[in-house]
Amino acid sequence: MDLINERVEHINFGAGVINEIDGSKVWVDFKQEVGIKAFIYPDAFGKFLKAVNTTIQNNIMEELNIKQAEIERKRKEKELEAAELEKKKESTTVKKKSTTRVTKKKITS
């Protein structure tokens, strides 16, 4: 999705225009007092930025939701792996019962 020259609103900085996108970062040019600021893409659109064009905003939010779902899936996968490792560890660590030996003394007369 081409976001160059798209107008956005920031909760603190106000109106701005996207002037560069590079991988997971987006640069927005705000008023002169603020200047150019970099944000993590698409995460910033869930917290700080909103595209003026609602179609673009909806597409970005869909992308963000997909990213968050993938992160959640990986987190659950790691939790499951950790639980399986713990279970495996518990099953291999079998506690030995302590036994006491009783020895009989020979009585000699």
For each of the chain's 109 residues, which pLDDT tens digit applies?
889 999 999 999 999 999 999 989 999 999 989 999 999 999 999 999 999 999 999 999 999 999 999 999 999 999 999 999 888 888 877 555 666 666 677 777 6
CB contact at 8 A, 26 and 38: yes
Domain membership of residue 73 as a residue range:
7-81
Domain count, the chain: 1
In a domain, 67, yes or no: yes
- The predicted pLDDT at position 79 comes to 93
- The predicted pLDDT at position 99 comes to 63
- The predicted pLDDT at position 106 comes to 72
In a domain, 34, yes or no: yes
